[in-house]
Amino acid sequence: MIPHSVPRVLRMGPARLTAGLDHTRRLDLPAHRTLHGDQVPRTLDDIIALVEEVDMRGRGGAAFPFARKLRAVADAARGGECVVLVNGAEGEPASSKDAMLLVRNPHLVLDGAVLAAEALNAREVVLATVEGEVAKSSIEAAVAERRAANVAGAAESRINIRVVGLQEKFISGEGGALVRAVNGLEAVPPGRKRRASTSGVDGLPTLLSNTETFTQLAVLAELGAEEYARVGTSREPGTTLLSVSGGAANAAVVEVPTGTPLINVLEMCEAEIGDGVLIGGYHGAWLDAETAISAIISREGMKMAGGSLGAGIIVPLGESTCSLGEAARVAAYLAAQSSGQCGPCRLGLPDVARALSALVDGSGSTDSIRRSVRAVERRGACFHPDGTAKFVLSTLDAFESDIALHQEHGSCGRPVRGILPLPEREDEPEYRLEVDWTRCQGHGLCAHLLPEFVSLDDYGFPSFKTVPGWMVKEAGRAVDMCPALALRLAQAH
């Protein structure tokens, strides 16, 4: 199976995770084994010693020590069954590195996952990715190749490899939401912290990490700690994958050694910095042009610059678009992508998005945005409200001069070109609340339940805004709870 089009790959320094991809669009099993050799099983103690020697961290954004995850799963399983879960459902529109690995180098992903599964004596490897995408087809083909070749003998044959397709949403890659989806439940965060290492897939202890993490494990096992650490920094050895897009003329997934100057990556991708560079994706932060020029690609380097490397997302803004308008597009997207199961997501994030949009047309203020942000911070059922708040507050800090132009003139004079990547919008149904005025007694309960979409006049009677599809459950609840049975919900035309 060779896809017609594949994610573009560039590199600086040695090719490790991207080795061989300059010669072929996808490495099938024979090509993979020629390049990387046969996988050698290792004990859990050996793997833990390897990852601790190079201080390997998860590459999904949180940078959690991988050795601690391995120990936690082993301790919870106590010699019993466990599962390895590969998170290939990025969800983040600005990230493409995991999709690149699944499409172009799927066997390296599987090598790392099977290596961990064998060491943990796991029951199965589950690989979760987006339904209907080329990445899912590619990894399914890779699993079929392995079954046909039976390349790893009895050890690998004992481990079932299962591919699960998920609906693409921003929150689909959140750990709790991912586990729920694999278990056949709605892909929303569970609302309370529940570690996958204790209870994950089918209630079993689960080693959960993202696609690049398992690929790094495979490379580390192949090279050994000493060779692996020949590139990168002493504290963060090895290479990392970056998804570079936005204002980059040569957008690509780029493999670079840690310690590489950010400006070198931007120049390779022919990227204009413009007003700034977004680091860490839509839960990340903006670096202004001066800071971006001196920033270093590493966890420590990005922290010193005031950002976070996260999942390796780099989005230069360029000079041709309205920075504030671009940020408002993303804030509206993030509000619509919430699961809507807690107040900060259901009510607070739409309020934040509207406040930022008002600032774009010059009618809003930074104070109103900060008030809206304070209403959602540290109050959500998951990290989504806090991540969105971080992005919006960073926007206010990074684009002060642009904000001043909007407040004074209603515009900065530049159009919103859609530089920040977002998925194509599907036509979602909208709904409207209708009232039977012969029944309505002005109780005001509907406005209490749906304050974002229902307002009351001086006499306590309601008027309504159009309800988006993602709020239809809450609107239905308001209809059901109307004490006068005066409300009904209809699809808007």
Interval 17-37 mean pLDDT: 94
Question: Is there a contact between 338 and 345 (Cβ–Cβ < 8 Å)?
Answer: yes
Task: Give the start-to-end residue ranges of the domains of the chain.
Answer: 9-228, 239-316, 323-409, 430-491
- Whether 412 shows a pLDDT value over 60: the answer reads yes
Token digits for 473? Answer: 């459950």
Per-residue DSSP letter, 261: B
Please state which CATH number belongs to domain 323-409: 1.20.1440.230
pLDDT higher than threshold 70 for residue 426: no
Domain boundaries 430-491, CATH class: alpha beta
Domain 9-228 has CATH 3.40.50.11540: yes
User: What pLDDT sits at residue 3?
Assistant: 52
Question: How do 83-87 and 206-210 pair as beta strands?
Answer: parallel
Contact 145, 161 (CB under 8 A): no
Predicted confidence (pLDDT) at residue 171 exceeds the cutoff of 90: no
Q: How far apart are CA 196 and CA 200, in angstroms?
A: 4
* Burial tier of 426 (Cβ tally within 10 Å: 0-12, 13-18, 19+): exposed
pLDDT band per the 50, 70, 90 thresholds, residue 42: very high
Q: Is the pLDDT of residue 474 over 90?
A: no
Give residue 131's pLDDT: 92
pLDDT value of position 429: 73
- pLDDT value for 152: 47
Q: Does domain 239-316 have CATH number 3.20.20.70?
A: no
d(CA 15, CA 13): 7
Measuring CA to CA, which residue among 307, 317, 237 is closest to residue 279?
A: 307
pTM: 0.87
Pairing of the two strands 239-244 and 467-468: unpaired
**pLDDT (0 to 100) of residue 360:** 93
- Given a contact cutoff of 8 angstroms between Cβ atoms, the answer to whether 474 and 433 are in contact is no
The confidence band for 458, taking pLDDT boundaries of 50, 70 and 90, is confident
Residue 2 above 60 pLDDT?
A: no
β-bridge pairing 239-244 and 313-316: parallel
Give pLDDT, residue 424: 74
